[in-house]
Structure 1
Amino acid sequence: MATSVGVENQPPRGEKEKPKNAVAEPRNTRALQDIGNFIPDRVAQGKPRIHVSHPVTRSFGAQLYAKAQAAEKAKKTMKEALEVKKQGAGGAISDQNVPRKPGQDDAAFAISSSEDARSKIAGKRLKGKKTFTSVMTARSKAASEIPDERKNVIEDIDRDDVDNELAVVEYIDDVYKFYRLTEDDGRVHDYMHSLQEINAKMRMILLDWLVEVHRKFELMPETLYLTINIVDRYLAVKCVRKMELQLVGISAMLIASKYEEIWAPEVNDFVYISDNAYVREQVLVMEKSILEKLEWYLTVPTLYVFLNRYTKASTPSDVEVDRMASFLAELGVTHYQTIISYCPSMIAASAVYAARCTLNKHPFWTETLKHFTSYSTDQVMDCAKILISFHSGAQDSKLKAVYRKYSCPDRGAVALLPPARTLSEADP
């Protein structure tokens, strides 16, 4: 124990033994010298030294250098501006301050007035830069083109149905391309000459009555258009007698109701609505005959599928346009000459165009409608004029089922509106 204590109390080698009563010197009492935390230019200018609380890092030094460069640039710009002002007040710029090219004549290089001096200096500074006038001109031109660009915009009419699974937005364009390709399969051509006892007027009387029956049973609009399609296709392949024409009509509506409706009317309902002109067995036999002649081909693109799509493309969505287009379309399909002259998609597009003209919806034909219908204004013009003529004579016609249907308040009474008489002046 004594030996270890003695070793601990011995001073380290190379140091003298301190007196016992001497005061111990504190450690790390060496005075700070210049370690690079002073700004040297302030010291050179005799300004008080500013101590920085943190060492000058590389990024902080770069910031200081950038600020110094910006201040020097601003100072130089101010000095140049003062020189220009002084020279402008003197009336000319001396030859000493103007750079000359080798071999340039003094007489050709002389500047006679302060205006020329200022313009030359301003041109030198603005070389390669856009002037305020050019910027404003470009903006004005861009602003003037905005209406034309908006006019040509094709709107996405399916954007609100993205979350609706029944709308099948992913396939809707392909569906209607298929409809356009196959609409001729379910379309009839002139067949009236092949019938001996039936003419176009009898057909119109039958369809006018079927519109009343359709309204009485409160059926879907798809059912009416499919009924008319079945009647025409059957008459085109089967020579029907006059006394069986009404039977063909109620049997066709029975088939269409089974195809389109959730709760279809029964056979006895159609017998009753025809004032018992036929018995139940006759209706069933005619139903079987129709299905055999049409080979059970009922999935056809009728006028309604196109009308439903085209009224949706008539943006902004308008219930009044929808009702007016439906009114004109039903007037069209009840006339024999219309259905043999124009395909269903053409009649639907013309009905929308005529409806917008009647309701004064500007523009009458938009880029959106042109895109989704694939028809231009010139293509739908002739058919639209025919539909308007039907509208003009609907009130005085003896067959007023469609007119009465769309004269009711629940359908907006669109049939009572004056028809569009100036379709030739309609803008595209």
Structure 2
Amino acid sequence: MLGDISRDTIEVMRRQESTVYACVDYLQLLRHLARTSEEGNSLADALIARREKICEWVYSVVDFFDVDREAASIVLSYLDRFIATNISANNETIDSRTLELGAITALYIALKLNYHGTLSIQTLVSLTNGRFNRSNIELMEVSMLSQLDWYVHPPTAVQFVHQFAQFFPTEMTDQAVYTSMIEQACFYTELAVWDTQICLKTCHPSTVGYAALLNAMESININRLSPGALKVFVESIAYICPDLVPSSGTVLEAQHRLFDMKLVPVVDPDEELSPPESPKKPREGYQMEDTSSSAHRIPLEDKTSYILNETSPRGFDTRHPPAKRVRVNEF
């Protein structure tokens, strides 16, 4: 019964990731809009660099406020689709101020919608060093939600990790080994958020989640992981998702990119803000919300109440702003 529910959930999530939550490759769009290939590559490289800085900042904020790191993938899903919409509409790269405000607003929406009581808009304003005020963020919030067409619950790679893991025969593997495998896989999904290539061009979240699990399995001592368990897992996932097999070119590319990112820091290790070197333990009793009934678009009747539903920061006094390491530096 559980397998049937998981199978249905995976099918719905995969349909969502390839339709309403799919993101246009805005880097390729920039290259097409440029007058020369050199200009196009320069614009794309600059946007990639700014996106990495945004990702760095988002992780620092979610860590500071002790929010599940999956929030970062939700924020970047909003932001990537927002960037793509802006570039498509304006036929030019997104300006720095709009990008920065978009990143801040995407974080605010993600935390307000998925982690109630984490971060108030006033606290977020205090992190911007005076560059944006409450009105700026509120207006951008309305604009961004409209551009996202109110699709604000994207299926994430870590959700796929937990869904796919239900098909792993735990009775054939030590519980400690299984737990370590899941933690390693979740860490790989965190790395994937940094990689613009993976997020835009190479993989859907389901492919990232699957590749992350394969990498995690490969990192475990062969004597601790039963070959029979691996065989059962691979065959079970292939039955549900025929394109997700270890020999798939897309899966292999994702595995290689994730493995390389684990070996090489994605930012200067001497910088104040850097991603953690070890995986963060998932929350106890992790439960993925049911995605089988809809594509998680906010109903029309709920939109007004959503906009008005500002929450107060959890366990945080707005009179004492966070440490400087979570403040916004221009992206």
Matched, 1:203 2:29: no
Superposition deviation, residue 314 in structure 1: 4.0
Q: What does residue 123 of structure 2 align with?
A: 269
Q: What does residue 378 of structure 1 align with?
A: 247
Q: What does residue 308 of structure 1 align with?
A: 162
Q: 2:213 aligns with which of 324, 334, 352?
A: 352
Superposition deviation, residue 388 in structure 1: 0.6
Cα 1:268–1:392 change in 2 (3 A) is same
Contact in 2 for aligned 1:251/1:283 (Cα 8 Å): yes
Whole-Å Cα distance in 1 between the matches of residues 109 and 262 of structure 2?
A: 30
Cα 1:243–1:193 change in 2 (3 A) is farther
Contact in 2 for aligned 1:214/1:224 (Cα 8 Å): yes
Cα 1:189–1:285 change in 2 (3 A) is same
Q: What does residue 393 of structure 1 align with?
A: 264
Q: Which runs of 5+ in 2 are unaligned?
A: 31-42, 88-93, 283-331
Whole-Å Cα distance in 2 between the matches of residues 314 and 393 of structure 1?
A: 29
Superposition deviation, residue 304 in structure 1: 2.7
Q: What does residue 68 of structure 1 align with?
A: none
Q: What does residue 24 of structure 2 align with?
A: 189
Q: What does residue 189 of structure 2 align with?
A: 329
Whole-Å Cα distance in 2 between the matches of residues 304 and 287 of structure 1?
A: 26
Superposition deviation, residue 398 in structure 1: 4.5
TM-score by length of 2: 0.66
Further displaced range: 393-402 or 170-179: 393-402
Cα 1:219–1:341 change in 2 (3 A) is same
1:183-205 CA-to-partner distances (Å, cap 9, x unmatched) read 11212132024456951111111
Cα 1:170–1:259 change in 2 (3 A) is farther
Cα 1:280–1:173 change in 2 (3 A) is same
Q: 2:204 aligns with which of 324, 343, 346?
A: 343
Contact in 1 for aligned 2:168/2:232 (Cα 8 Å): no
Aligned amino acid, residue 277 of structure 1: R
1:359-409 CA-to-partner distances (Å, cap 9, x unmatched) read 23533843224413632211232321111111111287449899742437x
Whole-Å Cα distance in 2 between the matches of residues 257 and 172 of structure 1?
A: 26
Whole-Å Cα distance in 2 between the matches of residues 357 and 218 of structure 1?
A: 30
Whole-Å Cα distance in 2 between the matches of residues 227 and 188 of structure 1?
A: 13
Q: Secondary structure at the match of 1:199?
A: helix
Q: What does residue 47 of structure 1 align with?
A: none
Q: Secondary structure at the match of 1:238?
A: helix
Whole-Å Cα distance in 1 between the matches of residues 191 and 28 of structure 2?
A: 23
Contact in 2 for aligned 1:257/1:265 (Cα 8 Å): yes
Contact in 1 for aligned 2:105/2:140 (Cα 8 Å): yes
Contact in 2 for aligned 1:306/1:345 (Cα 8 Å): yes
Cα 1:274–1:406 change in 2 (3 A) is farther
Whole-Å Cα distance in 2 between the matches of residues 242 and 331 of structure 1?
A: 24
Cα 1:359–1:246 change in 2 (3 A) is farther
Q: 1:407 aligns with which of 267, 278, 292?
A: 278
Calculate the aligned-residue CA RMSD, in Å: 2.8
Whole-Å Cα distance in 2 between the matches of residues 260 and 332 of structure 1?
A: 20
Matched, 1:282 2:116: no
Matched, 1:368 2:233: yes
Q: Secondary structure at the match of 2:192?
A: helix
Q: Secondary structure at the match of 1:334?
A: coil
Whole-Å Cα distance in 1 between the matches of residues 272 and 209 of structure 2?
A: 20
Whole-Å Cα distance in 2 between the matches of residues 194 and 324 of structure 1?
A: 34
Q: What does residue 5 of structure 2 align with?
A: 171
Q: Which runs of 5+ in 1 are unaligned?
A: 1-155, 159-168, 413-428
Cα 1:331–1:400 change in 2 (3 A) is farther
Matched, 1:246 2:100: yes
Superposition deviation, residue 305 in structure 1: 1.9
TM-score by length of 1: 0.52
Q: How many residues are matched?
A: 245
Whole-Å Cα distance in 2 between the matches of residues 310 and 401 of structure 1?
A: 35
Contact in 2 for aligned 1:207/1:228 (Cα 8 Å): yes
Q: What does residue 311 of structure 2 align with?
A: none
Larger CA Rg, structure 1 vs 2: 1
Whole-Å Cα distance in 2 between the matches of residues 208 and 357 of structure 1?
A: 27
Cα 1:376–1:214 change in 2 (3 A) is same
Superposition deviation, residue 301 in structure 1: 1.9
Contact in 1 for aligned 2:157/2:205 (Cα 8 Å): yes
Q: What does residue 30 of structure 1 align with?
A: none
Contact in 2 for aligned 1:208/1:400 (Cα 8 Å): no
Whole-Å Cα distance in 1 between the matches of residues 270 and 190 of structure 2?
A: 13
Whole-Å Cα distance in 1 between the matches of residues 247 and 4 of structure 2?
A: 31
- Report percent identity of matched pairs: 20
Whole-Å Cα distance in 1 between the matches of residues 271 and 181 of structure 2?
A: 21
Aligned pairs for 1:76-115 (under 5 A) are: none
